[in-house]
Structures are given as structure tokens and as C-alpha cells.
Amino acid sequence: MNIIEILKVILFGIVEGYTEWLPISSTGHLILVENLVHLNQPEEFFNVFKVVIQLGAILAIVVLYWHKLWPFSKKKSREQREDTLVLWAKIVIASIPAAAIGIPFDDFIDSHLSTPTVIGITLLLYGIIFIVLERIYRGRSFVIKKTSEIDIKTAFLIGCFQCLSLIPGTSRSGATILGAMLLGCSRGASAEFSFFLGIPAMAGASLLKIFKFGLDFTGTQVFILILGMAISFIVAVYTVKYLMGYIRKHDFTIFGYYRIVLGIIVLIYFGLLA
């Protein structure tokens, strides 16, 4: 494996780590990079690679929120441990809708919806929704200000919004953040619960792709997966910190405009290639 291939893997890891937790669609970015940069690997493996490097982004959330997510910490009181277990119950319940639809329709989505046209349209559509929603909520206060205040019903409904992200280009974090805000959650609580909800969703999607591939990886392919995940992890750590700091003082409008611009680029670029 030469240095050029290693640099390509690093590039994909950077793009994944930067875009996974921002509401701008990692799929939309990866499809552009994929069209410009090609790994010298079979298409089947590359499809696995794109999903598996998400594990690095997941690990970033686990590390950054370890104390909040680990229910058996000795530093927590009994009440705090119980609250953490309740949080995980909410995450599991919220994960059910997407799993119920995503698992049986995974192949259909890959073969029929993972197209530049669909991705470009969803980038545009949800970009507009973000802008409109932020104008509606400008100056308003949210009923749910902390993640701990999200009840079971609200968690489940947020999980229903996550189903929208099964359509490529929607952005899993974008769909869940929008849904949470519509249900009365603050930007901070919406983003944080979206992070937590992404752990089972993305881990499940990654494992599904790995087992479908058959675990028949070469030594080079194992190296590619580990390197991609490591880079994705490092970049995701800084991205999550940036996002949580940003939304303390700003709203999501900028991400709406960014999505619109990216959507137009995707549609024009792949329209010209057609």
C-alpha cells in the first residue's frame, strides 16, 4: 500500500469525522470525495469502509460523554446511576423505529436511493427546513432545556424523526436535531440526544455492513479500516466540541445555507457528468 492510498484513507477519515455529527450529511460529502478520489479497492469493500469509519465518530461520543453515559461509575450516586440507566432506556426506545425500517430495507435503500439526485434534493430540502425553523423559533424559549428532561414519549418521537435519515443526504443528526427542536427541545439538548442516539444507530449499521461483507478482509483492508476509524475519531472529537460551543451562542441557520450550497453543487456536478 503506497503513500497515496494512505493519504486517500486519511482524507475520507477527515471528511467523515468532520461531517458525521454536524447536520450537513456525511453521505453528501463522501459521495463528492468518492467521485474525485478512488481507493484501489473493490466497490463492495469501499461500501463497507464508508460505514465502518463511522465507528471512529461513535467512539468520539463515547469518550467525550463517558461519565454521562456510563451507569456504573463509582463517582455517581445511586440516583445518578439510575438516571443514566433511564437515559439508556430512552436511547434504546428511540432506536426502535429506525431499526425496524432500516434493517429490512437496507439493500433497497442502497440500490435505489443512494443516488446523487436523491442526496442533492434532500440536502436542499432540509437546508431550507433548518432556515425556516430557526426563523420561527428565533427568540423563543424551549420547554426542554436538558437531555435529562426528555421523557420516554419524546425520545420515541425523536427516534421516529431519525427514520427520515434512512434517505441518503438527509443527515441522521440533522433529522434528529430538527425533530427534537420541533418537539420542544433546546438546541443543546437536541444535539446531545442526537449524539447519544447515534451510538446504537451507527454501530448497528456498521456491524450490518461488516457481516454482509463476510468478515473476509485482507491485511491491507484491515489496516485501511483501522486508519480510517482512527482519523475519524480524532477529527470527530474536535468537531463535537466545536459544535456544542457554537450552538451556545448561535443557531443552526448557517448549516441550512451550507446544505443548500452543497445540494446545488451535488446536483450540478453529477448532472453535468450524466
What is the torsional sign of CA 165, 168, 173, 175? Answer: negative
Distance CA 56, CA 24 (A): 18
DSSP character at residue 70 = -
Distance CA 252, CA 222 (A): 37
DSSP character at residue 178 = H
Q: What is the mean pLDDT of residues 151-171?
A: 94
pLDDT at 274: 62
Q: What is the mean pLDDT of residues 226-253?
A: 94
pLDDT at 105: 85
| Average pLDDT over all residues of the chain | 91
Q: Shortest CA distance to 123 belongs to which of 169, 72, 168?
A: 169
pLDDT at 32: 85
pLDDT confidence bin for 108, thresholds 50/70/90: confident
The residue to which cell 451535488 is assigned: 266
Span 261-270, pLDDT tens digits: 999 999 998 8
Terminal-residue alpha carbon distance, the chain: 32
H or E stretch at 240: helix 219-246
Q: Cα–chain-centroid distance for residue 31?
A: 15
pLDDT confidence bin for 161, thresholds 50/70/90: very high
Span 54-81, pLDDT tens digits: 889 999 999 999 999 999 988 899 999 9
Percent of the chain past pLDDT 90, that is, above it, reads 67
Span 135-154, pLDDT tens digits: 988 878 899 999 999 999 99
Which of 13-17, 39-43, 206-210, 254-258 shows the lowest mean pLDDT across its residues?
A: 206-210
Q: What is the mean pLDDT of residues 31-40?
A: 86
Q: What is the mean pLDDT of residues 210-224?
A: 82
Top-confidence residue, 150 or 43: 150
pTM of the entire predicted model: 0.90
pLDDT confidence bin for 111, thresholds 50/70/90: confident
pLDDT confidence bin for 130, thresholds 50/70/90: very high
